[in-house]
Structure 1
Amino acid sequence: MTHRKTPDRLRSARWFAPDDLRSFGHRSRMMQLGYAEEDFRDKPIIGILNTWSELNTCHSHFKERVQDVKRGVSQAGGFPVEMPSLSVDESFTKPTSMLYRNMLAMETEETIRSHPLDGVVLMGGCDKTTPGLVMGALSAGVPMIYLPAGPMLRGNYAGKILGSGSDAWKYWDERRAGNITDAEWLGVQGGIARSAGTCMTMGTASTMTAIADAMGLTLPGASSIPAVDANHQRMSAACGRRAVEMVWEDLTPDRIVTEAACRNAAIVAMATGCSTNAVVHLIAMARRAGINLTLDDLDLLGRVTPLIANVRPSGKDYLMEDFFYAGGLRALMKQLEDRLDLTAMTVTGKTLGENLMGAEVYNDDVIRPLSNPVYHEGSLAVLRGNLCPNGAVMKPAACDPRYHVHQGPALVFDSYPEMKKAIDDENLDVTPDHVLVLRNAGPLGGPGFPEWGMLPIPKALIKQGHRDMLRISDARMSGTSYGACILHVSPESYIGGPLALLRTGDIVRLDLPNRRLDMLVDEAELVRRRDAWKAPEPHFQRGYGWMFSRHVTQADQGCDFDFLETSFGRAAGEPDIY
């Protein structure tokens, strides 16, 4: 039986309990805020790390939801304190919010470590907020529970259901081809995102909240609840209540994020049709917990895990709202029960198996049985070859199957502006067999690993009716994207990876069944090109970007800062002398 923590063993007691001058100062400043000692003494103090901002569209409801969390904390006898956190919104941050994921992780870790918090509720959802918050909280080590923002409502225009991101790409191609009017384009613009919440496709946001859910870090099934559903308000209050109990139980994240939990999360991700970004974030989160999850581990799971969530963009018909009505993530995990480690501990204090009891599928076209998958393998494949010796990723189910085995000449671009200008040239010398290549777009080259990997189809081909072709980059792509895109080529071209040696006209060969990606160039010629290669000028001369450039790891390693991984050393606690 687990012994419950007593008030004198609360972490916050180190700030408020001693009869000394320093603690006198802490208590007096709490009284300055209008609180009496009975408000905060001998109670778990729960930090609510809120990534709300007026420019984070996905989290626009968090200003209200934090009140629900506070209510739940107070109901359970805790003391809630809201701590604003870096928002890293996906919609407006340039060059990419990925540049700041690690900044959020650092802020989260240090905010928790330096303040009198006994436990935390992490409020996130937009793509990088889930891994950033979880990575930081894992390193800080206090009891934590994750509150996912939830997907927005289905988009709608002229009676057609729209999926955020996915339909933006589709209609943009049609606009470039001259197939839709200005009025139709504006109608799509106004109808594609129409409520608070994250993208309602199985993009990076829903992928990462599902991963947190499968990892045992959320209340069961919380990741599926639409942002504006009343169930979301009730779930938020329940997160507050549960956070207090986790403190008394001393249920720390190291007991939850185990090797089994990471494997469960990877299997569930594959079955959902997850974003390719899941690879980078899952590896980084696992490493913060001291677990060496690798690309090869993920590829192996991808080969044997069928895709059963019929949700765009890997699925064809449905969106996250439909997924919720069909039973949500609990129902999907119930389908996978024989493949999961049901003994894994979760934030509920119960095992995953206990949490899945009673889960049902209510629409087996949205959440398919294993006997009738959307795609026979999982969502992701990891490639290797002389173009990507350390790996690259692809989403087979989201592209035209004819590109699973393909050979064609490369058309290489050294920058996004160069590529953007060329693909709108109707006289560009390009065929559907060409392989579009963008380089200098990785973690260091972007800078920050931007979502440039879904290279647009050249206008000349769009007008001929083509909607897919093989594309390769060391960039990422939005989880709402689709198509024959190979991403995360590692090592990246900016540091002299093999992609830097590829030239327009070189033949590139993809063999997806055998997980190979190669350029058919003589080794002696590659040696000559490598000798002639010159490193580009650094992007940053100072500040956070300078630090990022010197310490970020490559895509296959999770793009965390090397000095924040567990192998680097033990984190400091609060100095006792204070």
Structure 2
Amino acid sequence: MTPRRTPEQLRSFRWFGPNDLRTFGQRSRLRQMGLGPEDWVGKPVVAILNTWSDINPCHLHFKVLAENVKKGVLQAGGMPLEIPVLSLAENFMKPTTMLYRNLLAMETEEVLRSHPIDAAVLLGACDKTTPALIMGALSAELPFLFVPGGPMLRGQWRDQTLGSGTDAWKYWAELRAGKITQEDWCEIEDGIARSHGHCMTMGTASTMTAITETLGLTLPGASSIPASDARHWRMAAESGRQAVENAWTDLNPSRFLGKSAFHNAIVADMAVGGSTNAIVHLVAMAGRANVKLPLEDFDTISRKTPRLADLRPAGRFLMEDFYFAGGLPSTLAQLLDLLDGDCITVNGKTLRENVADAKIWNGEVIRSRENPLSAEGGTAVLRGNLCPDGAVIKHSAMEQRFLKHRGPAVVFKNYPDLAKRLDDPSLPITADSVMVLQGAGPIGAPGMPEWGMLPLPKRLLETGVRDLLRISDARMSGTSYGACVLHVAPEAAIGGPLALVRDGDMIALDVAARTLTLEVADDELARRRAEWKPAPRHYERGYGALFLNEVTQANEGCDFRFLHSNGKPTPEPAIH
């Protein structure tokens, strides 16, 4: 039997319980809010951290979502407090929401620590929001669980099913190649995002919520419920009830998330053909739990994990199909021999218990273990003299002719240079060339934007070319595809080997061997290094300067050095 705390042992009791001047002031302000002792005496306080905003279409339904969480908290005898935190609107924030992931993580940690909170429910969905909230909550070391915002409905254009992001890239290429008209393009724009919710492909949003469920931080099956499905509201209410229970039992994820749980998350990522961004975020999340997660772990697990979910951009189907085929529980149930099923989850049960009865209802969308889409996961980690600290490639979502490729480099020093010269008729580029983008990493861009799916020159598109080997220190959207080597570390902006590549240099990729090689003699590279000079810093003040001073490289998760867990708890705030 799990021991239960008494009301006097709740963290919020320090704010509301003692009979002194300080708590008098705090209780009087509760009364100012229209509350009375019946609202707080002997009740856990559950914070609902809401990332809603008018400019975040993925989270437009979060006002109603929060009300359903509150309903569950009240049903279970808790006191709900909704608290707004930074909303990371993926499509609108420039240069990239990745620049602000750590800001939301910092805000989450401090909001939870500084207020009279016994447990928290985190409302998130869009890409960086999920890891940011979890990073902060882990550092705050309070009981919490995550409520995913859910994927939007499938898109539609005439008789074509559209997947957000993935089909935007596809039809943009067709427009530039002259295969569709501007009128067609406008119709696609009108039909690709038909409801609230995050991208309905297995992009970064769906990948991160699947990972979060596998880590045990959501209720079972929560990650793939469509945003507009009534079951989503019921899941939110149940999450509120569970948060109250976890406040009483002090079920704190920062205590039960160990290396096995993060290895389980990597298995899930590979089995669903997840986003390359998951690697950066998982490393950062693990760091907040004081778990080391080297890139080698991802590659080792990828090599033995079959890909079972046939989802765009690496496959055919969308998240709505995935949910009705059985969702993540059915996928994980096929992989129990690769998972640590004894890991605890936020409902107090083990991962094995949560997926024990899950069944596949559509064997085309979710393959059985005996009939996988591929014998290994969808992402590979590369090493070589061009990426001594690693790089990643989603080889499940590219033309297979590039699995082993050698070609001459066409180098762009930054993204404006790429945009300026891409369609220049004199650009020396062919279908065998290797496009190289420098200055797009955490410091160079700054913030490591999703520039890694470099657009192809129009004249190549017009000849039928739809993929090219592309290398950068950037990320790419989880909805993207193509032969894109990403997250090259160290990045060009700090003098990594990528900064030394010149037009015409031969570059060799061998995915099976996991190698990426710049075929330039060491003495020539040394000469180039001696001549290399860093570009001017983007920021000299404010949050931007803090970011440049503290951000780590992609292989370390792009977290801030001073936020890494050092194994020592941060002291509770003084009340007096």
TM over 0.5: yes
Asked if 1:157 is matched to 2:157, the reply is: yes
* Bigger shift: residues 478-487 or 375-384: 375-384
Q: Deviation at 1:427?
A: 4.4
CA distance in 1, matches of 2:372, 2:188: 31
CA deviation string 1:474-532 (max 9, x = no partner): 00000000000000000000000000011011000111111110110000000000011
Task: Please give the residue correspondences for 1:50-449 in structure 2 after superposition, counting only pairs within 5 Å.
Answer: 50-315=50-315, 317-449=316-448
- Whether the 8 Å contact between 2:120 and 2:145 is mirrored in structure 1 is yes
Matching residue of 1:546: 545
- Quick one: structure 1 residues 375 and 426, their matched pair in 2 at CA, closer, same or farther if it must change by over 3 Å? farther
Please report how far the alpha carbon of residue 376 of structure 1 lies from its aligned counterpart in structure 2 after TM superposition.
2.1
Q: Matched residues in 1 for 2:425 and 2:151: separation?
A: 38
5+ unaligned residues in a row in structure 1: which ranges?
A: none
CA distance in 1, matches of 2:438, 2:41: 56
Counterpart in the other structure of 1:31? 31
Aligned to 1:456: 455
- The one-letter code sitting in structure 1 at the alignment partner of 2:341 is L
Equivalent position amino acid for 2:447 in 1: G
In the alignment, is the contact (CA less than 8 A) between 1:427 and 1:460 conserved in 2?
no
Amino acid at match of 1:407: R
Mapped contact 1:562–1:568 kept (Cα < 8 A)? no
Deviates more, 1:368-377 or 1:106-115: 368-377
- Is the partner of 2:566 in helix, strand or coil? helix
Moved more, 427-436 or 142-151: 427-436
1:534-572 deviation per Cα after TM superposition (whole angstroms, max 9, x unaligned): 111111010000001000100000000001111285423
Q: Confirm whether residue 502 of structure 1 aligns to residue 520 of structure 2.
A: no
**CA contact under 8 A between 1:426 and 1:459: conserved in structure 2?**
no
Tell me the amino acid that sits aligned with residue 498 of structure 2: L
Distance 2:452 2:70 in 1: 41
Counterpart CA distance in 2 for 1:81 and 1:435 is 53
Distance in 2 of aligned mates of 1:370 and 1:512: 24
Q: Aligned partner of 1:329: which letter?
A: L
CA distance in 2, matches of 1:276, 1:182: 31
Tell me which moved more, 18-27 or 255-264. Answer: 255-264
Question: Partner amino acid for 2:537?
Answer: P
* Residues 139, 254 of structure 2: 8 Å contact kept: no
Report the 3-state secondary structure (helix = DSSP H, G, I; strand = E; otherwise coil) of the residue aligned with 1:106: helix
Structure 1 pair 250/570, CA: closer, same or farther in 2 (3 Å)? closer
| Structure-to-structure mapping, 1:462-501, within 5 angstroms | 462-501=461-500
> Is this contact kept in 2: 1:443–1:554, CA < 8 A?
yes
Specify the SS of the correspondent of 2:251: coil
Q: TM-score, normalised by structure 1?
A: 0.99
Whether the 8 Å CA contact 1:138–1:254 is kept in 2: the answer is yes
In 2, are the aligned partners of 1:89 and 1:97 still within 8 Å (CA)? yes
Residues 273, 309 of structure 2: 8 Å contact kept: yes
Residues in 2 aligned to 1:55 and 1:299: alpha-carbon distance in whole angstroms: 37
| SS of structure 2 residue aligned to 1:47 | strand
**Matching residue of 1:43:** 43
Kept in 1: contact 2:274–2:378 (CA 8 A): yes
Higher mean C-alpha displacement, 525-534 vs 363-372:
363-372
Unaligned stretches of 5+ residues in structure 2: none
Cα drift, residue 419 of structure 1: 0.6
Residue 43 of structure 1 and its aligned partner are, at CA, apart by 0.4
2:34 is paired with a residue whose SS is coil
2-side partners of 1:4 and 1:568: how far apart? 26
How many residues were matched structurally? 576
1:10 aligns with 2:5: no
Q: Secondary structure at the match of 1:514?
A: coil
SS in 2 for 1:451: coil
Distance in 1, matches of 2:171 and 2:313, equals 14
Give every structure 1 segment of 4 or more consecutive aligned residues whose post-TM-superposition deviation is greater than 4 Å: none
Using the alignment, how far apart are the partners of 1:289 and 1:98 within structure 2? 20
| Secondary structure of residue in 1 paired with 2:509 | strand
**CA deviation map 1:216-248 (0-9, x unaligned):** 000001001000000000001011000000011
Q: Is the 8 A contact 1:274 1:479 kept in 2?
A: yes
SS at match of 1:3: coil
* Cα distance in 2, alignment partners of residues 2 and 154 from structure 1: 43
Equivalent residue of 2:464, what SS? coil
Partner secondary structure for residue 370 of structure 1: coil
Q: Is the 8 A contact 1:256 1:347 kept in 2?
A: no
Shift of 1:256: 3.1
Report the secondary structure of 1:429's partner residue. coil
> What is the CA-CA distance between 1:378 and the residue it aligns to?
0.3
Report if the CA contact (8 A) 2:48-2:66 is conserved: yes
Q: Counterpart of 2:501 in structure 1: which amino acid? A: L
> Alpha carbon RMSD of aligned pairs, Å?
0.9
Cα pair 1:223 1:329 within 8 Å, conserved: yes
Alpha-carbon distance between aligned partners in 1 of 2:142 and 2:283, rounded to the nearest angstrom: 21
1:563 matched to 2:562? The reply is: yes
Q: Distance in 2 between matches of 1:494 and 1:538?
A: 9
- Report SS of the residue matched to 2:545: helix
Matched to 1:66, the amino acid is A
Residue 438 of structure 1 aligns to which amino acid in structure 2? L
Local SS of the residue matching 1:471: strand
In the alignment, the residues of structure 2 paired with residue 417 and residue 350 of structure 1 have an alpha-carbon distance, to the nearest angstrom, of 51
- Give me the whole-angstrom Cα distance separating, in 2, the residues matched to 1:387 and 1:306: 29
> What secondary structure is seen at the aligned counterpart in 2 of 1:337?
coil
- Paired AA for residue 318 in structure 1: F
Contact 1:215–1:256 (CA under 8 A) maintained in structure 2: no
- SS of the residue corresponding to residue 513 of structure 1 reads coil
Deviations 1:417-454 (A, max 9, x none): 11122222344321011000001000000100100000
1:128 aligned partner, one-letter code: K
**Cα deviation, residue 270, structure 1:** 0.5
Q: Percent identity?
A: 58
SS of 2:487's partner is strand
In the alignment, the residues of structure 2 paired with residue 418 and residue 80 of structure 1 have an alpha-carbon distance, to the nearest angstrom, of 51
What letter corresponds to residue 505 of structure 1 in structure 2? G
1:254 partner letter: S
Secondary structure at the residue paired with 1:275?
coil
Q: How does 1:517-532 map to 2 (within 5 A)?
A: 517-532=516-531
Measured in 1, the distance between the counterparts of 2:287 and 2:205 equals 20
Q: TM-score, normalised by structure 2?
A: 0.99
